[in-house]
Amino acid sequence: MVRLICALATVAAFGLPTQAVAQTSTQSTTTTPRGSSTAKPKLTVRKKKPTYSAAASTARRSKVARARAAAALALKEAEEPKFKLNDAGALIPDVRAEAAIIYNPENGQILYETNSQGTRSIASITKIMTAAVFFENAPDLSKEIVVDRTDVRAASTTYLRAGYKLSLYDVVHLMLIASDNAAARVLSHSSTLGGSEAFIARMNSKALELGLTSTHYSDPSGLLAANVSSAYDMARLITYVASDDRISSIMRKQYHSVTVGRQTITVHSTNQLVMKGDVDVLGGKTGFISKAGYCLATLLRLPQGGPQVAVVVLGAHSNAGRFWETRHLFNWLSSKASDIFATPVQAATPAAATSSN
């Protein structure tokens, strides 16, 4: 301000233009605000590409090769049948699953067992009872239903979507062949029992009627770990359900196609014994959730028209493992069949491993 006054005084004294002096004064008083800084350009740092190393590349390939070899060895060891001596000194299968049984439906005899009476989560083997209850009242399989949002919500494995319209015939096929969880829910609320709660109550009363004392159901799909049973109970149940050809004929199918609108959905059986086709499967169902492990309940016929046996494996450690263990038990029984049944039979061949429920 003092400078401005002095400048004006100079104008008056020497006759300079006032506007020019004012501009000069304004420019001279412009200062940078305290705390501010002049922006600096950002520097772009380019990362140097790693130099190719033949030695490092060879080391990586060797590591991958070792991992594959180890996996192949573990797979081969898992497929190798193991045996142990029982209390009588006889050689019997050493099953690596948590529970297993070979059951003779003709006389109720247990031909082999390990932890067969223990209560365990059974996952989608639950659907065997779902089918039994659904077919009790001779349902009209041609009836069409519309899938509800509650059916598909958190259903895990399902080929259905809310709003799909399809027949009960297709729904039951999806449940038993592809282990579709939403399909099991659809059947439970589409039955004549009056809703899912009444359906589950009937599943439990049916279990009591059949003398399945270790069995309890909390949902129709098997997604809940609270669905529990024993290998012994499941051997008896698969025997009972497979006697109904309406159900067993579906469980024996390898594929099924469903048309929904303009879309066609084709599913395959989760049961690799059915898919391979070298064992006579009369009925069967797979199951898996983390609490239950990999499960399989089957009713099989020994070769050459031999007798029926129920083979159940619960809590196997891999998808392929449940099929290997079932074949191991089946082959062992086949070798003993001439003594047990007075019927010579041949052993089954190993199964190919694929992923399923």
CA–CA gap between residue 24 and residue 266 (Å, rounded): 87
pLDDT, position 21: 40
Tens of pLDDT, residues 16-61: 444 444 444 444 444 444 444 455 566 666 666 666 677 888 888 8
More confident residue, 111 or 13: 111
The mean pLDDT value for 122-144 works out to: 97
pLDDT value at 8 more than 70 = no
pLDDT at 17: 46
Cβ neighbours around 97 below 10 Å, total: 26
Q: For the residues 81-88, what does the mean pLDDT come to?
A: 88
The pLDDT of residue 72: 58
CA distance 340 to 204: 35
Q: pLDDT tens for residues 226-261?
A: 999 999 999 999 999 999 999 999 999 999 999 999
Higher pLDDT, 103 or 77: 103
The identity of residue 194, as a single letter, is G
Give dist(CA 206, CA 220) in Å, integer: 13
Per mean pLDDT, which range of 64-68, 161-165, 234-238 is the poorest? 64-68
Q: What pLDDT score was predicted for residue 73?
A: 54
Q: Which long-range contacts (CB under 8 A, 24 or more apart) does 74-83 make?
A: 75/320, 75/353, 78/318, 78/320, 78/321, 78/324, 79/324, 79/350, 81/328, 81/331, 81/332
Mean pLDDT, residues 73-77 taken together? 54
Q: Which amino acid appears at position 3 of this protein?
A: R
The model's pTM is 0.76
Mean pLDDT of 335-354: 58
Q: Distances in Å between the alpha carbon of 229 and those of 207, 243, 356?
A: 10, 20, 21
Average pLDDT taken over every residue of the chain: 85
What is the DSSP code (8-state) at residue 191?
S
Q: Measured between alpha carbons, how far is 64 from 162 in angstroms, rounded to an integer?
A: 44
Alpha carbon of residue 292 to chain centroid? 11
Number of neighbours of residue 20 by Cβ within 10 angstroms = 11
| Cβ-contact 242, 248 below 8 angstroms | yes
Residue 287 has pLDDT above 50, yes or no: yes
Q: How far is the C-alpha of 185 from the C-alpha of 171, rounded, in Å?
A: 10
Residue 293: strand, helix, or coil: strand
